[in-house]
Structure 1
């Protein structure tokens, strides 16, 4: 096999090329981002990398069962507890009201009626 001459370029072997960042992308370390955000005078309502107060999500909140913690597509209209399957529903029918109220307070449910 003949070796490539100076006038011939080496054949490109993509499987041997190391990872390279794109040339038009600027990568900054986290410390540099923090320093630039701290030095800028940004409005208080604009979120940055280091603020905890971000705007609320536009996606609806996921609902989970009050008993098992599984995703709950059902709500009992009488007790307002969320449940995931028929077995949980049958267990809820035999619960005393103080335990049901305990589950509702853990979830943070407040009734509109009072």
Structure 2
């Protein structure tokens, strides 16, 4: 026998012996992959079925209860409505930049409380 025939026989023998890590009873799954649109429709049907059993109300964006967000609360300037990166130490009013701070610094006594009242952050200043 030549070297080539020996190599062919050893390869054939290796392929015929079952590997120890393969399950001889394994069958490939017959399910098909669903497109995203079909998954969404199925989920909506499922939610409607649950709603009919429990509340008899349709499930909408506003009806679903969700846990509180873990993201930090965004802070906005009380004067301009822009991103409020800074906060006045004396009155607690948030402001956007130095120009707005000059307005905050020169506010009358009750005006700062009115701005804090708009965002439900009323505090009694001493």
Answer whether TM exceeds 0.5 for this pair.
yes
- The structure number with the bigger radius of gyration is 2
Q: What range is the shorter-chain TM-score in?
A: 0.5 to 0.7
The separation in 2 between residues aligned to 1:112 and 1:91, in whole angstroms, is: 21
Map 1:97-112 to 2 at 5 A.
97-111=109-123
Using the size of structure 2 for normalisation, the TM-score is 0.57
**What CA RMSD, in Å, does the superposition of the two structures yield over aligned residues?**
3.2
What is the aligned length? 89
Using the size of structure 1 for normalisation, the TM-score is 0.62
- Residue 76 of structure 1, CA deviation: 0.4
The separation in 2 between residues aligned to 1:113 and 1:92, in whole angstroms, is: 15
Give the gaps of 5 or more residues in structure 2. 1-31, 55-59
Alignment deviations for residues 31-88 of structure 1 (CA, whole Å, 9 cap, x no partner) = 62442221455xxxxxx85525321100010000000000011000001000000000
Map 1:55-94 to 2 at 5 A.
55-94=67-106
Runs (4+) off by over 4 Å: none
Give the gaps of 5 or more residues in structure 1. 1-21, 42-47
Specify which structure has the higher proportion of helix: 2
